[in-house]
Each structure stands twice: as C-alpha cells, then as structure tokens.
Amino acid sequence: MKKYNVGIIGATGMVGQRFATILENHPWFNVVCLAASPRSAGKTYEEAVGSRWAMVAPMPESMKSMVMYDATADIEKIAKIADFVFCAVDMKKDEIKALEEAYAKAECPVVSNNSAHRHTDDVPMVIPEVNPEHIEIISAQRKRLGTKKGFIAVKSNCSIQSYVPALHPLMKYGISKVLACTYQAISGAGKTFETWPEMIDNLIPFIGGEEEKSEKEPLKVWGHIEGEKIVNTDKPMITTQCLRVPVSDGHTAAVFVSFDNKPTKEQILKDWKDFAGVPQELELPSAPKQFLNYFEEENRPQSKLDRMLEGGMAVSIGRLREDTQYDYKFVCLSHNTLRGAAGGAVLLAELLAAKGYFD
Ligand SMILES: NC(=O)c1ccc[n+]([C@@H]2O[C@H](COP(=O)([O-])OP(=O)(O)OC[C@H]3O[C@@H](n4cnc5c(N)ncnc54)[C@H](OP(=O)(O)O)[C@@H]3O)[C@@H](O)[C@H]2O)c1
C-alpha cells in the first residue's frame, strides 16, 4: 500500500490529539499538517496544545514542532500537501458543514468525526464492519459537489458504536424494537477529571442532542443506497436514554431487544463469535481481529478493564439473558475516543484507501 499524506483539522482538541497519537506510526498514513482555530495558527503544535494534552501517551515527537495552520484560511495550502484530512472541530453546525464542503471542493477528501453532515443524503456514515458498501454513494456526492477527488465521509456518533455492532449480526432475525440506556464517559465531552472536577462522584442525566443521535443514526447506518442517496431503514424502533457518568473513557450501553423471529441464546452467542466484516477480511491495519467479544463473567464488560480490548477498537459484550418485557437484554461497551471517534475514523480512512478513494 502506498503512503498517503494526511492533515488533522482540530488537532489540538481531544479527538485531534487521539488522531495524532494513533497516526504517529501508521503504516499507510503520514501526518504532514495540523490545523485548528486562528487562536492556534502560527504556533507550534506543542505551544498550541499547552497544558491541554490529555493522552496517556506523550505528544508525538515528529509533530511537536509542526507549525499549526488555520483550518479555514489555509484550506488551499492544506489541500496542496495533504491527500486527505481527518476533521474533528468544535464549531457551529453550519460552519462545520461549510468547512468540510470547502475541503472537498478543494479536492481534499474529508473523513469526519463531526455530526454536521451525518444526515446529508449522499454523505456515507460508516461503521466499517456494518455498512462498508455505503461508500459507493461517494460517486453521486462527487457529482453534486462537482469534484473529481474531493468528498466527505463521516463516522457515526460514539454512543451507538457498541450497540449497533452488537445488534448488526442479529438483524437477520428481524429486530422489532430496541431500548438502550447509555452510560457515557467524560472524554466524550472533550473533558478529563482535571478539566471537569464536578463529574467526580457525580452523574448527569442529560447529554445535549445525544438521545436524538442515538435513535436516528442507526437507521441511516442500516439504510441502503437508492439512486443518488442513502435511504434510512424504518425498523427497528429505537428508544434511548443517555447519561454522563464519572468514567474517563468508554461508553457502556444497557440494551433490551425484541425480534420478529426470536433466536436462541446459543444462536446469538454464535452470531457474535462468528461475525467478521470487510475490515477483518481486508486485514485493515486498525481492524480488530475479533470485533465482537462476549464475556461469560457476570461482572463484565467493565469500562476500566475492557475498553482497551484490541487497541480500543473491539466491542465487549456481556450479561446476555432473557427479559420479561423484551426478548433479551445485554450490556456492551466500546472505547468512545478510539472506536467511537478517532480510531473509527482511521479505520474508515483505511477502508477508503484500500478501495482507492484517495487516488
Ligand atoms: N470527544 C469525543 O469522544 C467525540 C466523539 C465523537 C465525535 N466528537 C466530535 O468531534 C469534534 C471535536 O470534539 P473534541 O472533543 O475533540 O472537541 P475539543 O476537545 O473541544 O476540540 C475542539 C477543536 O476544534 C478546534 N476549533 C474550535 N473552533 C475552531 C474554529 N473556529 N476553526 C477551526 N478549529 C476550531 C479547536 O482548536 P483550538 O485549540 O485552536 O481552539 C480544537 O482543535 C466535535 O464535533 C465532537 O462532537 C467527539
């Protein structure tokens, strides 16, 4: 595989820092530029991040002295040196939409963590193991944007990255309804316990916009391409409650599910064990070998013990049992800033690279 030059837009933020650490020694992607707001532009990466570095791993040596670009003012410059960019910025939704389209129109593809374009009809929202075929909509998007190479591809919200993968191999039984309560880590808000001490010994029963995303996004991920757009599925019915909990990393979901054709517990366990997606078949560098992992112990998965399974890219599941109101209930966990954010975006970029979308 040839090496691609990449940029990180929003490099100083929580997700941007994850991108920096994940990409430091990536076999296919070479970080050549870092960008953020005008506040950071002109400073070195080390100066711009300052005391905000929140990763356990140190800042990559190769990036410390890189001089930051202005994400908006320097689009043309960045498009000249980067084959594509990763984007994770904290801006208004319409500003992010415009920013990402400007990169695409400058013929610089964007792999995005932001929610702004998740419901744009011809923008694929991809969990690479679940709906890799949605990247085929990119040809329609390029036609609309008038680009040869530029496009936008997004990953879905971190909250759905445990239960949608766990439910996906069970779709063949006709899932009729799902109830999911998520218990979400503070890094999902770009915070640590140092920057958000109020979260120690606390729980906040509200995360703005999260329940809508958690109910709506799976319907696009399980949708299909029809002509020039992705059409959402209308089943299953999904209802959620999303809570912020005092955990540094790792979003857990307690899931209840009913089927048209109820499988046995053994069938479900076998479906999870046997499931492999395109990333596993293509052996993409960031793909976990075993995506869905079931724990027999009744006190697993635990965020602290299990979030880093397979480099934080696998999903951990436990406590599958029958329910009195739904057919089954279980608990699942995924790392929100790895699988749920930067890692999921890098895996999507690997899929796009393997399929020739950056050439
Ligand atoms: N944290 C998660 O687990 C997670 C998961 C999935 C998706 N996301 C999404 O990823 C995005 C970033 O989240 P985050 O947690 O990394 O946020 P964050 O830590 O607050 O970082 C925000 C980044 O955006 C940059 N930025 C702010 N205003 C800008 C502007 N006007 N122009 C260009 N860059 C600007 C900041 O640059 P400066 O340092 O220069 O201000 C910084 O690099 C958000 O859309 C979020 O919803 C986050």
Residues 27 and 149 in one domain: yes
Output the domain CATH number for residue 284: 3.30.360.10
Q: Which residue of the set 33, 87, 108, 158 is catalytic?
A: 158
Q: Is 158 a catalytic residue?
A: yes
- Residue 62, domain member (yes or no): yes
pLDDT tens column, 22-49:
999 999 999 999 999 999 999 999 999 9
Is 359 inside any structural domain?
A: no
* Six token digits for residue 18: 């994850």
Are 137 and 124 found together in one domain?
yes
Please give the residue range of the domain that contains residue 90: 4-157+341-354
Q: What are phi and psi of 169, to 5 degrees?
A: -70, -10
User: Whole-model pTM above 0.85?
Assistant: yes
Q: Which two tokens stand for residue 112?
A: 């995005």
Where residue 122 sits, what CATH number does that domain have?
A: 3.40.50.720
Three-class secondary structure assignment of 68-102: CEECCCCHHHHHHHCCEEEECCCCCHHHHHHHHHH
Q: What is the pLDDT of residue 201?
A: 98
Average pLDDT (61-77) is 98
The Cα-based distances of 212 to 60, 231, 240 in angstroms read 36, 18, 8
Asked whether residue 245 is assigned to any structural domain, the reply reads: yes
Q: How many domains does the chain have?
A: 2
* Tens-digit pLDDT profile for residues 227-269: 999 999 999 999 999 999 999 999 999 999 999 999 999 999 9
Distance 90 CA to ligand 1 centre (A): 4
Question: Residues with beta carbon inside 6 Å of ligand 1?
Answer: 10-16, 36-37, 39-40, 71-72, 88-91, 113-115, 158, 187-188, 190, 336-337, 340-341
Same domain, 150 and 220: no
The verdict on whether 119 is a catalytic residue reads no
Same domain, 268 and 246: yes
Q: In the predicted model, what is the mean pLDDT of residues 52-57?
A: 91
Same domain, 189 and 326: yes
Q: 47 and 187 share a domain?
A: no
In this structure, the answer to whether residues 140 and 176 fall within a common structural domain is no
Cis amide linkage into residue 301, ω under 30° from 0? yes
209 and 126 together in one domain: no
Phi, psi of 347 (to 5 degrees): -65, -40
Residues 176 and 270 in one domain: yes
Q: Are residues 91 and 167 in the same domain?
A: no
